[in-house]
Amino acid sequence: AELLKIPLPVSSNRFITSSMSAVENIMIPRMLVLGGAGYRQSMEIFGKMAGMAMPLLFFPSIITSSLATTLVPAISEAISLRNYRSLNNRISKSIQIAFMVGFVFTAVFLAYSGRISDIIYRREDVGDILYMLSFTCVFLYLQQILVGVLNGLGKQGISLRNSIIGYIIRIGFVYLCIPRYGIKGYIWGIAASFALISVLNLSAVVRSTGLVLD
């Protein structure tokens, strides 16, 4: 029973978020069509965002996702040794790295979205979508770090709850905003969900550890 407390919430998190992501991806082209776009045009817009712009956005997360993975045993070790100074130091440094990576790549994507699109995808116009998505970088990378911290603290259930809240918000934006504002409405939903998840996860970390952010 004790062993199930760790893998069960993590596995449930993957299953539930994957299911909600599938629902979201099915809805997006339909809502674009409902907003007046043709079927082919809606699939083209969705393909540019999900298949071209999003992978560029997630590429720098190699740094933060790797760090989040290594944080789990490091935080668990610090807790088992009751070394709370080391625990808070590791969490603080990780959050600082997430902010640094986020701000750097936000600036890069804001300044060079068109050029990056032209170099990688040639004639496909992905720059505008990448420009809009760049505002989510900080929250995306911070969220990954905080999920690793919560897993290390044994708070997988909280991480699952917050992820579900984030997906509900995104699906709400898909349903309500895409027909009126197009793909921009969905990108607003991504930014809002990542920001809220980051705030909720950070609040949970502060409550659990007494962390004082530098």
Task: Tell me the average pLDDT across 183-189.
Answer: 93
Contact between 75 and 209 under an 8 Å Cβ cutoff? The reply is: no
Give how far the C-alpha of residue 39 lies from the chain's centroid of Cα atoms, to the nearest Å.
Answer: 28
> Residue 211 — pLDDT band, cuts 50, 70, 90?
confident
User: Which pLDDT does position 141 carry in this prediction?
Assistant: 94
Cα gap 83→142, rounded to integer Å = 24
pTM (2 d.p.): 0.88
Note the pLDDT tens digit of each residue in 88-101. 888 999 999 999 99
3-state secondary structure 131-192: HHHHHHHHHHHHHHHHHHHHHHCCCHHHHHHHHHHHHHHHHHHHHHHHHHHCHHHHHHHHHH
Query: Is 4 a residue whose pLDDT tops 70?
Result: no
User: Which pLDDT does position 203 carry in this prediction?
Assistant: 93
Cα gap 142→91, rounded to integer Å = 11
Q: How far apart are the first and last CA of the chain?
A: 38
State both tokens at 157.
């259930």
Helix axes 156-181, 7-34, angle to 10 degrees: 0
pLDDT > 70 fraction of the chain, expressed in percent and rounded: 95
More confident residue, 6 or 48: 48
Task: Tell me the average pLDDT across 42-47.
Answer: 89
Query: Is 1 a residue whose pLDDT tops 80?
Result: no
Query: Is 75 a residue whose pLDDT tops 70?
Result: yes
Query: Is 72 a residue whose pLDDT tops 90?
Result: no
State both tokens at 41.
């045009």
